[in-house]
Amino acid sequence: MLLVLALPASPLGCTAEDAPAMPSATQAPAPVPRAHLRGLKGNVQIKRATADEWSTASDGVPLFENDKVRTEAGAGADLVFQANGSTVHLGGDSLIGIAETRPRPGRSRTDLTVLRGRIDAELKKPAEQSLSVTTPGATIQAGREIVFQ
């Protein structure tokens, strides 16, 4: 006896409807500016953490972690920090970096690396804020006004 079984023909593999969904690419959150440049005087330049070249800065430009700012002799700029309104006055012939910050709960913190030059810092609420300034040779932390040369 001969038995014939008929099976429906189906293509090998799966159709688009049957294919497993690809996980969507998760986007990293956009970086939040740490500070903005204000009151530029003379030649002030910035170097983004993701860039190889220096570019001319403009008033109001946002600064992010690991960005660098430099001024030529006679130039200057103010860095106004987003989170707490602290202001750092950058003098001429200076080079600073916006350092990565690890804030403590309930306390606003600003971290800078001064590679050369002078800064003057003003904290709006010294009881609730701190400023950490790192140089190639030292680290200074303050909760009140600080002048560093």
Q: Comparing 110 with 49, which gets the higher pLDDT?
A: 49
Q: Say which residues have a Cβ less than 8 Å from residue 80's Cβ, sequence separation at least 6.
A: 35, 36, 38, 86, 87
The answer on pLDDT for 88 being more than 80 is: yes
Q: Which residue is it, tokens 């690419």? A: 25
Residues in the chain: 149
- Round to whole Å and give the CA distance between 130 and 32: 19
- Per-residue pLDDT, averaged over 115-134, amounts to 81
Burial of 44-82, coded b for 16+ CB within 10 Å and e otherwise, reads: bbbbeeeeeeeeebeeebebeebbbbbbeeebbbbbbbe
Q: Please, which pLDDT band fits residue 4 given cuts at 50, 70 and 90?
A: very low
- Round to whole Å and give the CA distance between 130 and 128: 7
Tell me, yes or no, if the pTM score tops 0.85: no
